[in-house]
Chains A and B, each alone.
Chain A
Amino acid sequence: MSDGSITLFVLFAGTYLLKAAGPVLLGGRTLAPSIARLADLVPAGLLAALVAVSTFGAGESLTVDARAAGVVAAGVALWRRAPFVVVVLLAIAVTAGVRVFA
């Protein structure tokens, strides 16, 4: 089985357990505030890491290329409260544009 498939099934199992734990086991009880706060905060760190690495990563080194321009454009669009589709299309257009003209 390929890495893609193994990841798929293990991630499915783990994700499903997280989703079903509350409804199946907990009933009406509540989660400890410290765990709830951690669950709320962890995604910010992970997503920021994903943005940074997928923008500047190039194998085992870091580089600033046309992707950075696209992500900056996406940030401006988000700041201007643009819908998701505009954010992504603008990022693609800017990155493609930089590659054509640079």
Chain B
Amino acid sequence: MLALIPFGLVFGVTASEAGLTLLQSIGYSLLVFTGSAQFAAVEVLGDGGTVAAAVLSGLLLNLRSLAFGVVMAPAMVGSRLRRAAESQLMIDESVAVATAQTDLRWRHYGYLAGGLAVFAMWNVTTIVGFSVVSSAGDVVEDWGLDVAGPAAFLALLWPRLARRDQQATALVGAAIALTLVPITPAGVPIIAGALGVVAGRVPRERVRGSTR
């Protein structure tokens, strides 16, 4: 859990560089509350991308929340309203803590405890990260802080490169994105990176002759 502290700090730094206000940055961490989607949307905005491009890249990155929700559904008990409220904590870490438990009740407790701990830590560190950079002024480039975003994205990507299909997806996604940078509006290359899945899926789909 402590490993998340620098992540929140870096998000605060990235949000500040992208020109967001402190209130907006906190809003992302309170409401969106999914590290990678926040990062992606803010990065696209910072590059001058449209609202649609920022939202779409965040949502595509967050498709896994849907899968998490399905995995957690049997353990999420109580009224519909309570289940709806607790769903806000549906992130990698809370689901990881939960799925380490075999008993459904403990799975629910683990989800809540893990989720709430990250929620608190994430928001505090967002504020600290944002404030540090804001008070530092224009030294962002001199310090090399502009590389914090790319390094953080690489760290998020790393665990997703274990399998061959993931590696193929990542390579092709990056190639498509770089190719599009000079010819499309900002943000579009990021979204187009999702098309890398075509490469990742080819080995299994070839049998049926499907194109995706």
CB distance from B87 to the nearest CB of A (A): 4
Binary interface profile of B, 135-158, with partner A (CB < 8 Å = 1, else 0)?
A: 000000111111111111111111
Q: How far is the CA of A11 from the CA of B57 in the complex (A)?
A: 10
Structural contact, A53 and B178, CB atoms closer than 8 A: yes
Known interface pairs A4-B21, A66-B144; A51-B150 also in contact (CB < 8 Å): yes
User: Interface size (A, Cβ < 8 Å)?
Assistant: 74
Contact partner, A14, options B19, B55, B142, B157, Cβ 8 Å? B55
Structural contact, A53 and B87, CB atoms closer than 8 A: no
Which residues in window 23-81 of B have CB below 8 A to A? 24, 27-28, 31-34, 36-37, 39-41, 43, 45, 47-48, 50-51, 54-55, 57-74, 76, 80
CB distance from A80 to the nearest CB of B (A): 11
Chain A residue with minimal CB distance to B24?
A: A4
Residue B192 at the chain A interface, CB threshold 8 Å: yes
Q: How far is the CA of A49 from the CA of B76 in the complex (A)?
A: 34
Further contacts, 10 of them, CB under 8 A, given A29-B70, A46-B60, A48-B157: A3-B50, A19-B88, A39-B67, A44-B157, A45-B195, A47-B156, A49-B194, A53-B178, A70-B150, A88-B151
